[in-house]
Structure 1
Amino acid sequence: MKTYSSRVRYKHKRRNFEVGTRPGTISIPDDALEPKIEVYSFNEKDLQVSTGKNMETITKQIAKCTDHTHWIKINGLGDATLIEDIGKFLGINQLVLEDVVNTHQRPKFDEYEGYVFGTSRILYINKENELVNCQFSGIVKDNIVISFEESYNDYFKPVKQRLEAGKGLIRLAGPGYILYTLIDTILDNYFVLLAQLGDSIDETEDRLYQSPNKAIMFDAQHLKRTLIVVRRACWPERDKINDMIRSENPLITKDTKIYLRDAYDHCIQAMDMIESYKEVTSSIIDLYLSMVSNRMNEIMKVLTIISVIFIPLTFIAGIYGMNFSREDTHGHVIPDNMPELYAHHGYVYALVGMFVIGAIQLFIFWKKGWFNKL
């Protein structure tokens, strides 16, 4: 049976920044992917989709669909020129663009004049069995929603399918509602990840009861560390959603806030699950250590019983092993020296006496119930 720790690894990302650079500097990581752009322009009756890799894809689509809401989906942050052009086109502050490419932001919601900006953490296990923790950034302005993702993973496929189906509010409720659907999708995937972690915790706990070994402790610690990563993403996400609910910005409409309250409840539920799972993993570690300690106590108890039995026997053997002569060199009996030294069958009597003493001790230990607890 493979353990959890042998299946899942952490995909570490190094921070990309230089000390002393001016605020608003766009510094692209060396391993950043080339952008892939998808533009979804929609209204109640129509959906237009275009794809490309440069700014022209965005400007043409927006110019063509003047009475539509636009979702600009960008996967990959490897083009600083594109990021800057988008900032100029939408009038986005350089500090916001810096936060987009600096992909170690905690979830947050910021309001600016004419637009809002938010970030979230996307967590999933990729095909290489690595726990990926990447950033989602979203900007809402007028009738435009622009989202930035680090990878090519199609994380928001359900949102695309809802746009194509054209049912519900997704084409009618405005760009703020699109941002909500993206955030809600991220939260839903937290539950998928937590379900996987919950199964791994149950498996680890079953192994603890069946055949405890030190690998279980390592797996439980690995699970606990993973839960801490999820907690670091989910905790500020709750604060971000709460900020969106309290916002007076017209881009976050009253109807959208109703759905955001539901997302807030989901976030609280995910946090409760995380805390519960953390307690279980801590309990697994504590229980394993207790089992090891109890097992050590049982071993020490057995060794103590053996030692207690042999102490009087060793004492008797030690006494009769002393080299005191019964007679002196002239054949005279030396007073107060071992009278049993020349006793007939003394060796047999000594062995029988030792056996009787040992049997009496074993009987006493048995009556006390010591052997039943081994």
Structure 2
Amino acid sequence: MTEVGTEHRPESAPFLNRLEHFTWAWFTLPMATGGLSLLLSSQIQPHTFRGLETIGKIVYIWDLFLFVAVTLCITYRFIRFPGMFTGSLTHPTESLMAATPLLSLASIIAAIARHGIPSCGEWLVVVYRVLFWIYFFVSFVAAVGLYYLLFTSPSLKINDMTPAWDLPIFPFMLSGTIASCGAGHQPPDQAVPMIVAGLTAQGLGMMISVLIYANYIHRMIQYGFPAPASRAGMFIAVGPPSFTSLALIGMSNDFPTVYREYFDGLDDTAVTIQIFKVGATMAAIFIWSLSLWFFCISVLACLAARREMRFRLNWYAFVFPNVGFTIATISIGKMFHSASVGWVGSVMTVLLVITYLAVGVNHVRAFVRRDIMCQGKDEDTYWDEIHHKLHQAKGAGLIL
């Protein structure tokens, strides 16, 4: 990690040397890919065709490959360049992306329920349950630890605020999404604890996100939209309400029809399930509307700055949060048996696939052109911006 004033390496630095700048943000690639594999499931899509499930599985395998490759590259960075690991966790902006490996794992685990369990034996149901509980506890520890580090040395100011400040709580929140995908495959005595834990995680994540939103909107009212380079990250704000909506509907649908009497006075199982579904659907629509608003604001902000935007790894925010937005839309449509909403969800799916491919092409081009993973890029960008601001202030006589 390069501080201001450090000499730049030659442009011809070999690939292994460039890995010094291989940041946590690279996990946004498997994040987006895993989300897409989840979306391209016949269990989710309202309109399917022969081969869709195969496409989804191919994307899932590609996601596994990407996750392993990215993990190996960042591991090499931390081993080859001592001090980079602790430096990445204390860096004002890179540390916000330290939660992305867990976000990548969330989509990998959730997709097991869509692409793996239907084709495998009972053993994978047990594995899914074990993975859920491990992920639940690890992501909670990460959420506490990463925010502790952020609050301990607060280098970022309110005018630096973007929805990326929400990322440390995001993995724990996605425990609810994992529960909504896999609880239906579990035995009743295992499904209920998973749903309760998922609802707890989803609730905490959504409430922390609301607190973050308050500061984020305050920042935009006072300072305007984020810089063009950061505007793709505005779509991160679309994610929490979207994933909360789909998780609520998913968990209500997966609540076991055979269970102990957890609720006094509700002896009729069918009535209890119906209450859950109606309540979850109403709450999902209520929350989904916030995603719609953030989505529209983000689209307009990006269109306004389209000529100034250059590829950064935060462009994958065009995909991953909107996967949740699309699945939530489809889920609401299914609950109301609405063919129109289903078609809207299908169109959104096609647009997301096109967006993923477009971002991927720009990613490759940026790597080849050394616009990313190079000296002065990625994690160095923050220090360069600070240096530029200090230089401007000195030039204006504001700093002696």
The interval holding the TM-score normalised by the smaller chain is 0.3 to 0.5
Bigger Rg, which one: 1
Name the structure with the higher strand share. Answer: 1
TM (norm. structure 1) is: 0.33
Name the structure with the higher helix share. Answer: 2
